[in-house]
């Protein structure tokens, strides 16, 4: 793996490069979705704001959540934990990103569920691309040892291992792109139903509800082969508990918009 690129005197983290790539990919999807929904024209900077601000807030939120997950280590070395080159928590990023979305929606006076629907596929794409940064840096997001032919080792990673392990970032990339495709199709059906007959089929919030459910299920399942510690009842990881909350929230929202 290649945690850093050496460009002359510069040391460029590959994780940071993939985060930038994720933001760019999410921007193009977000811009297209906002345009087809009539929320913002493609030649405006609105989509840029709805990608850049939540993404940056999500990184900060993910870092803080990860640090707060291990309070003993945080108290022992607060600066080291907060400013280390690795250690991000997906649920913290989701909370902070959603908070930024709410703030921007109010600022631009866009209905909240409409903008959540427009950003769902983009968020899935961005998450998947960003996970490749975890793969390149070998930051410990890989899975358990495996004998499968596509197992990988990370001897030069930030969290090195010489064992062949599940490349879970690749699994998550595949799942995220599949989810993005499903969400885009759901959005098309939602808009078509709205144009043809209206009603619950075209109700705002259904795409976002599907995002919460699908993403929560995907993350819940991949955690079974991750190396994260089981902290809930000795069975579930923190991410799995958060995933269950996402699925429950998505199911509740789906029920609400469909009734």
> Does some domain include residue 108?
yes
Report which secondary-structure segment, H or E, holds 50: helix 46-69
Mean pLDDT along residues 228-247: 83
Instruction: Assess contact for 86 and 15: CB atoms under 8 A.
Output: yes
- Per-residue pLDDT of 96-106, as tens digits, reads 888 898 999 99
Residue whose token pair is 């269950």: 244
| Beta strands at 161-165 and 152-154: parallel, antiparallel or unpaired | antiparallel
32 lies in some domain? yes
Which H or E run includes 198? none
The partner residues of 6 in beta bridges, in order of sequence, read 11
Among positive and negative, which fits the CA dihedral 173, 174, 175, 177?
Answer: positive
In a domain, 40, yes or no: yes
Q: Which domain holds residue 98?
A: 4-185
Q: What is d(CA 167, CA 74) in angstroms, rounded to the nearest whole number?
A: 28
Question: Is pLDDT above 70 for 51?
Answer: yes
| Domains contained in the chain, number | 1
Residue 208 lies in a domain: no
The whole-number pLDDT of residue 105 equals 93
Q: Are 121 and 180 in contact (CB under 8 A)?
A: yes
Q: Given this model, what pLDDT does residue 185 score? A: 97
45 lies in some domain? yes
- The mean pLDDT value of the chain amounts to 86
Confidence (pLDDT) at 219: 94
Note whether residue 103 is domain-resident.
yes
Are the C-beta atoms of residues 70 and 76 closer than 8 Å to each other?
no
Three-state DSSP class for residue 160: coil
| Domain contains 245 | no
Please report whether residue 230 resides in a domain: no
pLDDT tens figures, 175-190: 999 999 999 999 999 9
pLDDT band with cut points at 50, 70 and 90 for residue 5: confident
Confidence of residue 95 (pLDDT cuts 50, 70, 90): confident
Task: Give CA angle at 206 (202, 207), nearest 5°.
Answer: 105
Higher model confidence: residue 1 or residue 189? 189
Report whether pLDDT(200) > 70.
no
């Amino acid at each position: 793996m290649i945690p850093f690129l050496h460009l002359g005197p510069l040391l460029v983290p590959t994780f940071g490069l993939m985060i930038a790539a994720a933001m760019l990919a999410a921007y193009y999807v977000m811009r297209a979705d906002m345009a087809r929904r009539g929320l913002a024209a493609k030649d405006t900077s609105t989509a840029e704001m709805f990608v850049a601000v939540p993404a940056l807030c999500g990184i900060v939120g993910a870092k803080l959540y990860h640090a707060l997950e291990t309070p003993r280590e945080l108290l022992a070395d607060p600066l080291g934990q907060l400013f280390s080159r690795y250690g991000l928590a997906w649920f913290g990023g989701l909370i902070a990103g959603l908070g930024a979305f709410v703030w921007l929606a109010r600022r631009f006076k866009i209905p909240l569920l409409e903008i959540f629907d427009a950003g769902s596929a983009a968020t899935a794409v961005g998450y998947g691309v960003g996970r490749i940064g975890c793969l390149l840096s070998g930051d410990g997001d890989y899975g358990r040892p495996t004998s499968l032919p596509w197992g990988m080792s990370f001897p030069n990673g930030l969290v090195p291992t010489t064992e062949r392990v599940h490349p879970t970032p690749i699994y998550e990339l595949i799942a995220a792109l599949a989810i993005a495709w499903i969400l885009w199709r759901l959005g098309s059906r939602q808009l078509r139903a709205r144009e043809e007959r209206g009603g619950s089929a075209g109700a705002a919030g259904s795409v976002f509800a599907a995002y919460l459910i699908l993403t929560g299920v995907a993350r819940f399942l991949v955690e079974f082969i991750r190396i994260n510690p089981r902290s809930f009842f000795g069975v579930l990881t923190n991410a799995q508990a958060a995933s269950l909350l996402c699925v429950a929230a998505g199911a509740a929202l789906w029920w609400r918009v469909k009734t």
